[in-house]
Structure 1
Amino acid sequence: MMQLAEITRAEVLDAGQRLLGEGKKVNGWSLRRAIGDRGKPELLMAEWEQARSEGLAESAGPAEGTAIVLPPGIAEAMEQARLELVARFDGLLFSLVRSSEESLKARYKDDFDRLAAERAQMAEDLASASASIEATEARLAEALAETAALRAQLAVQASEAEAQIIALEAQARQFGAAAVAAQQARATAEAGTVAAQREVELMWEHVARLEAALAAAISEMEAQRTRAGGELAQARAELATATGRATAAEAASAEARAVATEANEEMLRRAQEKRPGQHGGARRA
């Protein structure tokens, strides 16, 4: 990178005049190109603007090594007017930057507050869905436990009925000495067996109805669980989207603050360069 001491104000003025004469726009990069790809564009542009503010860039100006001597009153008036214009421009620029920064802060604050509210609502919906699923699973476990207990009870009753049938048959065999008595006892036992078997059949029919009702209840609970799972997945997706938007809003706010800070630093730098006594025939570029 070339040093500013190697680039004189005359070179900057000459490059700017050539660009204007060719009908081209004068900016930092066009000045750097016209000078031979030397210097920093922002400093070259600052030098050109400094020359324009002093009225040196509107004409070819005197040859290097000569200077225009103005009457003291006119020179002081021109310097005072220049300082007032610079102060007014800096004030307007500061006001514009402050207004832009406040506008951006207000805008992104509203977006961030809205996204935070949406995130809270989604978290609440997610908690409700989770509670609903847990309640459904609890009811399903309770129904399964009741079914298991009923089956165990019916198994015990069936075992007791079979034991009674076996006992009756044993008693009938023990009293086989008397045929009539044995036959009557056997008929009685068979009648009791038929009644017991019928009772067992009725019990199993009742169990079948209970199992059918339980299957329907389980199916309904599974459907509710599936729907709740879908709602839960949707709520999680919406929560992820809201989090991304909030992150983007925070990044945009940080970028806006960085832009405002850079603009403030640039204005302070220009103001320092334009103070009386700090502009000369050669600058760093």
Structure 2
Amino acid sequence: MYEWVGRLTGHLDRLPGIARWIRWVPRPVMLGICSLLGWLVWKKENHLRTKVLDNMGEVLTNRNQLQIGKECRRYFRNFFITVYEVLIDSFRLEQTKRWRFQVSGEANLQEALSAGKGVIVFTPHLGNFFYYYWYLSRRYPCLTVVTAGSPELRPLYLLFQQLGCRGLDYDATPPMQLIRTLRKHLRQNGVVFLLGDFWRPTFPQARLFDRITRSPAGTTALALEQQVPVVPFYGYRRRGFRHQLVFGPAIHLHQTYRPDQRTEATNHLNRFLEDAITTVPGQWLYWFNAEHRWEEVDTAARQAEG
């Protein structure tokens, strides 16, 4: 999928001009074009389609083959609509935000902020997560952590930086500087938007979908050390270019877990990720390479056997 993103972001210098022309194309027509592109890739890219289907089948055990096939088609459709939204339609976000977003539970975020300790908005890569961060950035003092090291994805992050969305590059920011910046932002009662399903082989072990995996520990570390409330959040595409944003009640990890129980706290949060992803499985970004994140046997058990 990164290869497809690279093909579409290769000429960002032309985007303003392209956007000016495409804005005259009726949105239903653009929706049809994006849907057709998704169908063509689903139909022609046999290796990629098979990988997505296999990964969905491994995780979505409560769905039959027909249902998984339908979610697979939705996955490719959502991908191309999202790329269009980010590269082209984001130039009109301010003018279209009234009809684009339907929001539920935002009072949970506002209540959590009233404690004055800042809030971590914890979310998976669902729907158009770029747009959801833009929405938050327009309403609250926000900061996020991105992984802009990929040459395919970097143009997307730079584009949203131009739209006023602040972010720290995980790959380019020294770890201590990154954590100090996040701590300071939270102490100022800011909102930190963290994507909990990002994966790196160097992350601490955790569990997701009843499998051993690697999860970022930043959310639990900040929540336990500074007693910061965590607001679980996810967004998804309701229909066409309209999105639903869902904020859950705040989770106070420090009331349940000790500072040395980060793994247990991470697994607690990962159960929310599971629920969100299985609610709209056709809109989770990582089906194309999910097989890389599962470990058959955890490291501790392997070392004990050795």
> Which protein is bigger by CA-based radius of gyration?
1
TM range (shorter): under 0.3
More helix by share: 1
Q: Which has the higher contact order (CA 8 A, sep 6+)?
A: 1
More strand by share: 2
TM-score with structure 1 setting the length: 0.20
